[in-house]
Structures are given as C-alpha cells and as structure tokens.
Amino acid sequence: LVQSGELNIDVAFLGVPSCDEFGNANGYTGKACCGSLGYAMVDADNAKQVVMLTEELLPYPHNPASIEQDQVDLIVKVDRVGDAAKIGAGATRMTTNPRELLIARSAADVIVNSGYFKEGFSMQTGTGGASLAVTRFLEDKMRSRDIRADFALGGITATMVDLHEKGLIRKLLDVQSFDSHAAQSLARNPNHIEISANQYANWGSKGASVDRLDVVVLSALEIDTQFNVNVLTGSDGVLRGASGGHCDTAIASALSIIVAPLVRGRIPTLVDNVLTCITPGSS
C-alpha cells in the first residue's frame, strides 16, 4: 500500500542506534543494536518527511547505510533510543514448553517428508514458540541427509544464525532481526543480508523474495474449518499479536504449515469461524 501510493506517510519517525550528521544509518552499529531496518527502509523511501531518532552521532560518512542521507530530513539526538535487551521477548522467545516442542518436532517431520526437503531448499519460520523451534529440529535431519538450504528468509533468529554459521544455511535474507544474536550477526556475517519489506514480500514489486520460498512455518491464534487463520486478535477481539508477513508467505510458499495447540488456557484454537481473518484458507 505504501509503495503503490495508496497509503501516504506524512512523517516517519525512525529510531536507529547511530547515524552521522546527514542521517546515514544502519541498525547494527551502536550500543542499541537492533539489526535489520527492513521495515524502516520502506518508510524512509516513501514518507514526505523522515525524522531520525538516535542516541549516538558518528563521523561522516557512516557506512554501510541502510537508510541514506538523501532520504533524511531531520535528526534528533535522544538520551536512549530503546532497550535492545528486550528484543526477542514475547512471541519470539525460544520455547522450552513440552507441548510446543512436540508440535515443532511434528512440523519438522512433515517438512522432511514433504518432497521439498532437498539440497538447496529455502525456508522461513514465523513468530511463536512452536514455529521458531522447528529450526532446531531440522538441524539433525539436515546433517543426516547432507542437505543445505540456499537461504532462510524473513525474521531471522539465533537458531537460523547458528545453522548459517555451521554451514547448513548458505544465506540469510533478513527483513527483521528477531533477537540480539541475529542483530549482531548482521554486522559480522557477509552472507547475512538485510532486505527491505518491499523486497521481502510486496506482491506488487518487481521481485519479492517470498516467491522463491519453499517452506514456511507459521503460528496462529485461531484456525477455522475453512483453514482461515487469525494471528492478530484473541477471541475477545483484543490485539494480541502481529501479522508481519503471515499472509504473504502463506500464499507464496510452496508448502505452508500452520502450527498451534488445540487449546490455549481453555480457549479453543480450532473454531468454526475465525474472529479476524488475516490469512485466507485458500492460500
């Protein structure tokens, strides 16, 4: 919507750990390292006014720059741009829950037997304990079959970085770093590549990376009998999650797997009709 001009942004306030006096910035230099600025890159490219909020001004020119000087109108120095230690909390936690680990193991078995688990495949895992844990179970299966993935896409996690550094995933295409390990990896690994949200999943762009995706594992708050998925609101209509690239990856990937428990705190996950349809069952 932003790229097409249907949705206009008057002012974008973008927090970055550091930048120079002209606004050149990335997300992995400075104390408040946050990783990929994939979503901010689209805002910076399309907003009428771009305001950078940073806690550290560096000598000009600051490079590499995810957001470049000719996109920036104003720079505001603040005492603290954010708490990087809280990146990776909540939905992007690494689970130790036995139920979520069982679901993750089952999803990994589905992937292995799907026909897409072969040399050079590509993958993405969404937020949520079970979907993130799938990556952990794939490592042994990749080693035993001598299989390497060409790339992992989307929100990048510590487990994906681990597989990349072990040589099991050749490249990481990072639109959003899900934890501090991923954020730090972006600075040190040349094949950990930052991409914009436009390159990641904009169906109207000249080339979206999701169209090259073989397998995606996604979470859900509700799933109905028509396979529609709600990942945004609880059964009471209150916002409890975020969509991200859920619907984009589900429709573009060759194999889309939704993982969720049958019940959460006496509230069923499987329902007749989802309250909020984020990802249609047809995808």
Three-class SS state of 42: helix
Domain range enclosing 79: 11-84
209 with 149, same domain?
A: yes
Residue with tokens 């910076």: 44
Q: Does residue 276 sit within a domain?
A: no
pLDDT at residue number 41 = 97
Same domain, residue pair 220 and 105: yes
CATH code for the domain of 216: 3.40.1080.10
Among the listed ranges 36-50, 79-93, 112-126, 209-223, which one has the minimum average pLDDT value? Answer: 79-93
For residues 193 and 178, the model is more confident at 193
**Per-residue model confidence (pLDDT) at position 95:** 74
Residue 89 has pLDDT above 80, yes or no: no
- Kindly report each contact of residues 164-168 with a partner whose C-beta sits within 8 Å and lies 24 or more positions away, as own/partner: 164/189, 164/191, 164/192, 165/189, 166/139, 168/139, 168/142, 168/143
Beta strands 270-271 and 222-224, pairing class: parallel
pTM score, whole prediction: 0.91
**Are the CB atoms for 250 and 283 separated by under 8 Å?**
yes
Going by C-alpha positions, the residue among 229, 170, 176 that lies closest to residue 200 is: 176
110 shares a domain with 210: yes
Sign of CA dihedral 128, 147, 121, 255: negative
Q: Are residues 79 and 106 in the same domain?
A: no
The rounded distance, in Å, linking the Cα atoms of 256 and 173 is 19
- Where residue 253 falls among pLDDT bands split at 50, 70, 90? very high
Q: Is the model more confident about 4 or about 144?
A: 144
pLDDT at res. 88? 65
Q: Convert the pLDDT of each residue in 273-282 to its tens digit.
A: 999 999 999 8
Q: Indicate the pLDDT class of residue 261, thresholds 50, 70 and 90.
A: very high
237 and 141 co-located in one domain: yes
- Whether 235 is covered by a domain: the verdict is yes
239 inside domain: yes
Q: Count up the domains in the chain and report the number.
A: 2
What average pLDDT does range 235-248 have in this prediction? 89
- Please say which residue of 60, 84, 108 terminates a domain: 84
